[in-house]
């Protein structure tokens, strides 16, 4: 079984694929109906394989109607077609949701006592498993050991969401929302045929994304054009490569990526605190957020009025340089990556400004983007140059932001020490 690759939903090449959806016996099975609908609307052919326990929660007629395909739980149906082998062999991706503690255990130990577990053994395509269970079950050492085993084999096990569970319980173990799971499946489909490297398994990475907002008054703020899309692409591709991901998101209007721990922030000061907290135990920190260079010295307690004789003067102060602080505090085994959105001027072009910034900051890698004129900010595509402190440079042509993210993770992996991941 190989893990999901990365990409961006909606890119050509993924529509019309054969998706096998394995449904485990958990109450979250009802949410999988929405996942199936989204996959079919994207043009995929969906074959649903529920476990017998799953049919206690959502019946077979529902799955058949949603998928438009035959549904069975038995290896003895249509034996002449050898379904326990053929379904896995012909799939472009297999996604299991909800992946119960029992299903994770059976998959990790290679058991094949029903149709779904047979398919998991015969599949040679990307496999995605989305666990859902009570917090105590998810955190149990046996479950965590099974998850580690599956990830070591290349299975993309998505971290469960935190929220309301069965009854009045809340905590880690909630199935991610169908829209997010659909995005994960699209990432897997875009990489079918070549296994996503699991070179970040056991690593913790911190990614900042978006743009900070420094308040002038209760209504107005100083901000920038960053959408957070590149940071989110970095987070999702790191997850696909096996990392535990903390995403510090500054004013981003995007849905939280499934399996990623998201820390929302607003200002440069909040981002600084959140990044430093997460960086304390991280192997890699990527500062993709656009952090404001300046903030008002004082914030007006009330909205500044327009009907005054003169426009108010806002005095500014420099914000703390978070990237430089990270470099100063880094451990010898930690990789620090910066981003620089640059334009050319009379003094130098955008790339030279990036080289100068790398020298000033002292980080291991710096991604330089040319901005302005509809480039980089708010777009689905990006291009740039990855500069290394050791002098190398990697040009990344215009393409999906996930492609740039993967090239950056390639460069990061090459700089991680051979020490055992924490």
Question: Three-class SS of residue 60?
Answer: helix
Per-residue confidence (pLDDT) for residue 239, from 0 to 100: 85
Strands 170-174 and 161-164: antiparallel
The DSSP call for residue 55 is G
Would you say 73 and 49 are in contact if contact means Cβ atoms under 8 Å apart? Answer: yes
> What is the per-residue pLDDT for 9?
34
Main-chain phi, psi angles of 29, to 5 degrees: -60, -30
Catalytic one among 224, 251, 369, 382?
224
Q: What is the 3-state secondary structure (H, E, C) of 322-350?
A: HHHHHHHHCCCCCEEEEEEEECCCCCCCH
pLDDT band, very low/low/confident/very high, at 342 (cuts 50, 70, 90): confident
CB 295 within 8 A of CB 270: no
CA-based angle 24:37:187, to the nearest 5? 75
Mean pLDDT, residues 373-394 taken together = 81
Binned at pLDDT 50, 70 and 90, residue 2 comes out as very low
224 is catalytic: yes
Q: How far is CA 11 from CA 8, 101, 143, 180, 374, in A?
A: 6, 33, 35, 16, 20
Q: Quick one: pLDDT at residue 12?
A: 37
State the DSSP H helix or E strand holding residue 98, giving kind and residue range, or none if neither: strand 93-99
Which strand ranges, in their side-by-side order, compose the sheet holding 18-23?
A: 45-50, 18-23, 93-99, 127-131, 156-157
pLDDT value at position 14? Answer: 58
At the second CATH level, the architecture of 204-413 is 3-Layer(aba) Sandwich (3.40)
d(CA 30, CA 90): 26
Higher pLDDT, 259 or 363: 363
The mean pLDDT value for 52-59 works out to: 95
- With residue 405 as reference, give the H or E element that holds it: helix 401-413
More confident residue, 299 or 225: 299
Write down the pLDDT at residue 156.
86
Chain-centroid distance of CA 38 in Å reads 19
pLDDT for residue 65 is more than 70 = yes
Which ranges of 202-349 does DSSP label H, i.e. alpha helix? 229-240, 268-279, 322-329
- How do residues 368-380 score in pLDDT, each as one tens digit? 988 765 555 667 7
Cβ-contact 342, 371 below 8 angstroms: yes
User: pLDDT, tens digit, for every residue of 222-271?
Assistant: 999 899 999 999 998 898 788 889 999 999 988 888 778 899 999 999 99
Q: Quick one: which of 140, 134, 139, 138 has its CA closest to 166?
A: 134
pLDDT tens for 105-164 read 999 999 999 999 999 999 989 899 999 999 999 999 999 999 989 988 888 888 888 888
Give how far the C-alpha of residue 259 lies from the chain's centroid of Cα atoms, to the nearest Å. Answer: 7
For residue 158, the model assigns a pLDDT of 86
Which CATH code for domain 18-190? 3.40.50.1950
Closest CA to 149 of 121, 118, 108: 108
For residue 413, give every residue at least 6 positions away whose Cβ sits within 8 Å of its Cβ, in sequence order, or none: 197, 199, 200
How many C-beta neighbours within 10 Å does residue 260 have?
Answer: 23
Residue 308: its pLDDT value, please?
72
Cα 321 from chain centre? 26
CA dihedral of residues 271, 231, 160, 53 (deg, nearest 10): 160
Residues of the chain with CATH 3.40.50.10300: 204-413
Q: Does pLDDT of 279 surpass 80?
A: yes
The three-class DSSP label of residue 188 is helix
Domain with CATH 3.40.50.1950 in the chain: 18-190
Helices (H), 42-177: 60-67, 83-90, 101-108, 115-122, 135-139, 141-152
pLDDT-based confidence at 76, cuts 50/70/90?
Answer: low
């Amino acid at each position: 079984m190989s893990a999901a690759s990365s990409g961006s939903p909606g890119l050509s090449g993924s529509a019309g694929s054969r998706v096998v959806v394995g449904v485990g016996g958990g109450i979250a099975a009802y949410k999988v109906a929405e996942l199936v609908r989204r996959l079919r609307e994207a043009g995929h052919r969906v074959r649903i394989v529920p476990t017998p326990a799953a049919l206690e929660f959502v019946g077979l007629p529902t799955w058949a109607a949603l998928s438009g395909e035959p549904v069975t739980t038995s290896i003895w149906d249509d034996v002449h077609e050898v379904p326990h082998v053929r379904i896995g062999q012909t799939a472009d991706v297999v996604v299991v949701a909800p992946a119960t503690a029992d299903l994770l255990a059976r998959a990790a130990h290679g058991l094949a006592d029903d149709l779904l577990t047979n398919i998991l053994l015969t599949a040679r395509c990307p496999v995605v498993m989305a666990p859902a269970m009570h917090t105590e079950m998810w955190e149990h050492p046996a479950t965590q050991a099974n998850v580690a085993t599956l990830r070591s084999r290349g299975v993309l096990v998505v971290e469960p969401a935190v929220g309301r569970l069965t009854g009045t319980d809340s905590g880690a173990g909630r199935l991610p929302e169908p829209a997010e799971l659909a995005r994960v499946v699209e990432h897997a489909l875009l990489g079918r045929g070549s296994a996503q490297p699991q070179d970040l398994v056991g690593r913790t990475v911190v990614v900042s994304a978006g743009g900070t907002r420094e308040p002038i008054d209760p209504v107005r703020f100083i901000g920038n054009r960053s959408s957070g899309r590149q940071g989110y692409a970095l987070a999702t591709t790191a997850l696909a490569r096996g990392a535990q991901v903390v995403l510090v998101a500054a004013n981003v209007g995007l849905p939280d990526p499934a399996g990623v721990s998201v820390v929302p922030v607003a200002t440069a000061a909040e981002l600084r605190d959140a990044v430093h907290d997460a960086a304390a135990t991280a192997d890699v920190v990527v500062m993709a957020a656009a952090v404001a260079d300046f903030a008002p010295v004082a914030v007006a307690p009330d909205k500044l009025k327009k009907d005054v004789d003169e426009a108010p003067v806002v005095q500014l102060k420099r914000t703390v340089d978070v990237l430089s602080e990270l470099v100063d505090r880094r451990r010898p085994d930690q990789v620090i990556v910066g981003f620089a959105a640059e334009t050319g001027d009379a003094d130098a072009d955008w790339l030279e400004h990036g080289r100068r910034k790398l020298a000033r900051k002292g980080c291991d890698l710096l991604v330089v983007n040319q901005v302005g004129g509809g480039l980089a900010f708010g777009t689905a595509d990006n291009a740039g140059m990855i500069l290394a402190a050791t002098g190398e440079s990697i040009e990344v042509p215009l393409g999906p932001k996930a492609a740039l993210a993967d090239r950056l993770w390639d460069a990061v992996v090459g700089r991680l020490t051979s020490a055992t991941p924490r």
